[in-house]
Amino acid sequence: MNIIQLRQTLLLVLLLNSTLLFAEIQLQAPSEVGASSAVAVSWQGLSDERDFVTIVPKGEAEGKYKKYQYVRKAGAITLIAPDKPGEYEVRYLSASSPYTTLGRSALRVIEVTATISAPVTAVAGSEFSFSWTGPDNPQDFVTLVPSNTPDKKYKNYQYTKKGSQLKLRAPDEPGHYELRYLLGSSLRSIAKTPIEVMATRAKVSAPSQVTAGSEFSVAWDGPNNAQDFITLVEQGAPDKTYKRYKYTKSGNPVVLVAPDQPGAYEVRYLTGASSYTLASDEIQVITTSASLSAPEEVVAGASVKVGWQGPNNQQDFITIVERAADEKKYGVYRYTHRGNPVAIQVPETPGDYEFRYLTGGSYITLAQRAVKVLPASASLKVPASIELGQPVPVSWEGPGNNQDFLMIVTAGSATNRDGPYAYVRRGKHLRIASPAQPGDYEVRYVTGELKHTLARSSLRVTPSSAPGTLQVLPAQESGDEVNSMSAIAVILDASGSMLQRIEGKRRIDVAREALLQLTQEVLPDNTPFALRVFGHREKDSCRTDLEIPLGPLNKASVKQKIASINAMNLAKTPIADALQKAVADLAQATKERIILLITDGEETCDGDPAQAIKSINDAGYKVQVNIVGFAIDELMLRETFQEWARLGNGRYFDAPNAAQLAESLRQSMELSYEVIDQDNHLVGAGIVGGPPIKLLPGNYRLKLLGHSPKIFEDIQIEAEKLKIFNL
């Protein structure tokens, strides 16, 4: 092929490609539409997704375009017609410059009209209805503006797409206004109708004077439009100013709180739309006073009763601060509505302080009382040594503040944060769990707030004697095992402490998982079952709720209910009330009854669980109370739970972690026993037919637990020997 033939071939290829590239597109579009209306466009032919469609005036130069849309791969698009009537073209343009026209269709844009029907007048701030006719193009709307407003301006509006009957709210300012129909694409007005906004009237009536910080009532009369409100401001404050307020919709009269600062004020009725003042009434706020009574000297960390006289307004409180503290500063505090006197815990750092009565609104000091905080001291009485595994008996003298505690730490330890402990609030004579290893230790009296050591005493923990073991076996066909169809009432603690974490998981999540194992894997279908929960509904509450009434165990529904339970921060622990109500929950049971309490803390609702269990027994109810303590690391609290379970002819199960919690719930459904020493102390517990338990050599009593407990005397344990006891 010579050079001439090659050039001819290339020219032919280019010509063919150009013909394909700019092949004609067949457009389908309406021939006539209203101004600003939607124009549906479709096409046929080979297209590039970067091609685009536009509407231009007829005779517009090729390659020019206005608003456009890419064709993508849709095959059809919608454009908005121009606002100005006239002759136009819909053009399909190629993707690349010079934007060759591949298809075109003539389009005539005609004028559109609209009408608005509305009331002649409307009351300021009120809602009124109107109707309209018109093109209803995309984004068309009707607006309400002052009659002299320039075209294309708008304020409150409603889109026509919401319907032919619409509502708008009249402005708060009386005057002459217009409703206008505006085209959405250009904001051109195609219809208007006048409406006069008439003034509205209101009235407020307040007392002529009130005490600073006090509540007072304001009667009102007015339109009560949405968001209208009554407010209290300084006399002469600029219009549209507001501070504390109440919506008129909340009632008549409304209750406001006076400022803490005395002076001249105004109560005003303000419109919700623009804070326009409709009415006002003057009011004088007068000074209030208060006084405090308290000891002149107290020991560091002590709880002090502070008497007070004062207005007791909402959120007023008593606090303690350093004597030179700035105004509006506060430390530990109690609201005056909690009672008179209030209990305030003073700081643990000695020094000069003062109690202050502060207003709840702005923390103005109404009264103050000086107090000197003196250094605290303590003493301990501790045995020189104990055998590993034996509780440590400790007596103490000291301030005895609520959160103070005794702790056993390694001798010379720099911290007071890790070791067996007991709170001093449990009494003057305490029992603390033995450390885990032999060695030299210290027992310390530690303050609850700053963890200061007030006293210390040495303690040596010596290796324990070689233990023996005890295994209790059931008698054949004795009938002493727990009946698999006993009625079970579970009480689950979901109070705020259950939000703490253990092994990386929230305690409530661990408890739910363990309870699911019990109900899904341990208890047989149709076991009479009830579930009561506390702490999951309200904060700062002693509420307890029956979530699953007694009935045959339905594993699917029980699973769903348990999964929905969550703990709530600041919720309390009403153990006594829950125990008494659980007895009622089991009232319809025809067989043996078991209450299973799962908790991680002590009673915090002023109840007495021990007395509650005693009253259950005294009433003749045959109920066994088993208690599972979750993450309980204080010996005396564990012993308290053990005593409650003993009173209920049941057993206490200690569950320091997730695995032990699940196992404890399983064991709580089996026949259990306890071992009691000669001093009547509980020293061991186990499951009948379960593995042996370790005991120090000695003579013991064995108590078989249940509705009708049995006592077996003279159980002799020898060192390093297994004692098998057959029931």
For 117-150, what is each residue's pLDDT tens digit? 999 999 998 899 999 999 999 899 999 999 999 9
Q: How confident is the model at residue 10 (pLDDT cuts 50, 70, 90)?
A: very low
Angstrom distance (rounded) from CA 179 to CA 597: 69
CB 594 within 8 Å of CB 624: yes
Q: Is residue 371 part of a domain?
A: no
Structural domain of residue 134, as residue ranges? 115-198
Q: Is residue 209 part of a domain?
A: yes
- pLDDT tens for 240-267 read 999 989 999 999 999 999 999 999 999 9
Q: Is residue 194 part of a domain?
A: yes
Clarify whether residues 383 and 359 are in a common domain. Answer: no
Clarify whether residues 471 and 500 are in a common domain. Answer: no
Query: What is the reported pTM?
Result: 0.64
CATH number, domain at 522?
Answer: 3.40.50.410
Clarify whether residues 500 and 648 are in a common domain. Answer: yes
Angstrom distance (rounded) from CA 75 to CA 71: 7
Angstrom distance (rounded) from CA 455 to CA 384: 16
Residue 592's identity, in one-letter code, is E
Q: Which residue has the tokens 């539409």?
A: 33
Q: Is residue 241 part of a domain?
A: yes
Clarify whether residues 194 and 172 are in a common domain. Answer: yes
Clarify whether residues 534 and 640 are in a common domain. Answer: yes
CATH number, domain at 218?
Answer: 2.60.40.10
pLDDT above 50 (res 481): no
Angstrom distance (rounded) from CA 682 to CA 92: 95
Q: Is residue 181 part of a domain?
A: yes
CB 231 within 8 Å of CB 245: yes
Clarify whether residues 492 and 574 are in a common domain. Answer: yes
pLDDT score, position 49: 84
CB 598 within 8 Å of CB 494: no
pLDDT score, position 23: 57
H or E segment and range at residue 585: helix 575-585
CATH number, domain at 135?
Answer: 2.60.40.1930
Domain boundary among 651, 669, 687: 669
Q: How confident is the model at residue 19 (pLDDT cuts 50, 70, 90)?
A: very low
Distances (CA, A) of 256 to 215, 216, 289, 655: 6, 6, 20, 52
Q: Is residue 649 part of a domain?
A: yes
The number of angstroms, rounded, from the C-alpha of 501 to the middle of its chain's C-alpha atoms is: 17
Phi then psi for residue 647, to 5 deg, are: -60, -30
Clarify whether residues 422 and 493 are in a common domain. Answer: no
Percent of all residues in the chain with a pLDDT value above 70, rounded to a whole number: 95
Q: Is residue 521 part of a domain?
A: yes
Instruction: Pick the range with the lowest mean pLDDT from 23-37, 120-134, 182-196, 329-343.
Output: 23-37
CB 466 within 8 Å of CB 717: no
Clarify whether residues 514 and 593 are in a common domain. Answer: yes
Clarify whether residues 586 and 662 are in a common domain. Answer: yes
Domain boundary among 198, 227, 254: 198
Q: What value does the mean pLDDT of the chain take? A: 92
Distances (CA, A) of 506 to 455, 501, 510, 511, 663: 35, 4, 7, 9, 18
Q: What is the DSSP letter of 519?
A: I
User: Residue 248, CB half-sphere, CA atoms under 13 Å: how many?
Assistant: 22
* Residue 638, both tokens: 């564990």
How are beta strands 76-80 and 86-93 bridged, if at all? unpaired
> What mean pLDDT is predicted for residues 285-314?
95
pLDDT score, position 212: 92
Domain boundary among 146, 171, 198: 198
Helix 575-585 with 609-618: angle, nearest 10 deg: 30
Angstrom distance (rounded) from CA 649 to CA 671: 12
Burial of 33 (0-12, 13-18, 19+ CB in 10 A): buried
CB 376 within 8 Å of CB 347: no
Clarify whether residues 501 and 474 are in a common domain. Answer: no
The number of angstroms, rounded, from the C-alpha of 428 to the middle of its chain's C-alpha atoms is: 39
> What mean pLDDT is predicted for residues 213-222?
94
Phi then psi for residue 199, to 5 deg, are: -65, 145
Q: What residues pair up with 108 in beta bridges, in sequence order? A: 32, 87
- E strand residue ranges, 310-404: 317-322, 333-335, 342-345, 351-358, 365-374, 379-381, 385-387, 392-397
CATH number, domain at 680?
Answer: 2.60.40
Q: Which residue has the tokens 């695995």?
A: 659
Clarify whether residues 576 and 661 are in a common domain. Answer: yes
Q: Is residue 360 part of a domain?
A: yes
Quote the number of domains for the chain.
7
Clarify whether residues 335 and 393 are in a common domain. Answer: no
Q: What residues pair up with 712 in beta bridges, in sequence order? A: 702
